[in-house]
Amino acid sequence: MDDTLVTSPLQISKRKRLNQRSKTIIYLVLGLTFLLLIAVAGTLLSHAAITTNFMQKNLLPSLQYPFGTDWLGRDMLARTLRGLSISIVIGLFASFISAMIAAILGTAAATLGKTVDEVITWLVDLVMGIPHLLLLILISFALGKGTFGVIVAVAISHWPALTRVIRAEILQLKETNYVKIAGKMGRGKLEIAVKHMVPHVFPQFLVGLILLFPHAILHEAALTFLGFGLPPEQPGIGIILSESMRYLSLGMWWLAVFPGLALLITVLLFDLAGGSLRKLIDPYSAQD
């Protein structure tokens, strides 16, 4: 063979990019830091968020007040952070409860026989069939609004999608050759569940939980914005946004833009983190 033979490129050149695992870790670290910062800041600033100062009202964003002040002279940065931290706590609770419901119902539907499956599938369809916001409003209203009402409303309306995922995953696992073989080897149901099912379904569950979180925050904000959620003393992001509506026409854009952006960033960050985590847990995606 001739050593001087030129080698031609056989693949269209690819740009260098971060690998999936690094990306996921960056998103997760960013998300968690963000979460922690907001939670800490929110607690520290709980007083500043409601302190009024009529000497400093309606100020444009400046160095002293990066997010500006509102019509009562309250620092919008403090209010935004406080609002986010309230939203995040509610979101955490709600998505956790929701995911637990999904795990229990999804597993039950897939393992406890036809009747149970039909009932749960019907329930899933039912909850999914009712317009989301309507359901949220009804439940929250029935429970007397407030933090408790919001948490329960968001938790009760968000489980169906994840329930479907878990049910489908388990049903699919039951049909795999290796699970069927384990059965023929005389392995008990519990052993198969622990060895084959949990390690497969748990990561899916975790991703589902993380992806539920931004949803829960958004819906909490929406509910509060419409006046069916938190009381005005608790400045959740929804409250801040709905209050600022009245002043938007007066040209006070900063009242809505910064809290809105902060909400958007939080939600996006967790959505990205959850999404890239989902790509990672696929056992066949070792390449990439």
- Residues at the contact surface with other proteins, assessed by CB under 8 A: 1, 5-12, 14, 19, 21-22, 25, 176-182, 184-187, 195-196, 199-200, 283-284, 286-288
- Name the minimum Å distance from CB 176 to other proteins: 7
Tell me which residue has tokens 């990066």: 66
Question: Residue 127 is which amino acid?
Answer: V
C-alpha span between 168 and 20 (Å, rounded):
26
Nearest residue (CB) to other proteins, 16 versus 47: 16
The four Cα atoms 103, 104, 108, 111 give a dihedral, to 10 degrees, of: 50
Nearest alpha carbon to residue 87 among 39, 51, 132: 39
Nearest residue (CB) to other proteins, 63 versus 286: 286
- Name the minimum Å distance from CB 114 to other proteins: 16
C-alpha span between 32 and 168 (Å, rounded):
30
Nearest alpha carbon to residue 96 among 162, 183, 35, 7: 162
- Name the minimum Å distance from CB 276 to other proteins: 13
- Name the minimum Å distance from CB 110 to other proteins: 17
Nearest residue (CB) to other proteins, 21 versus 246: 21
Reduce the DSSP state of residue 74 to 3 states and report it.
coil
Nearest residue (CB) to other proteins, 197 versus 217: 197
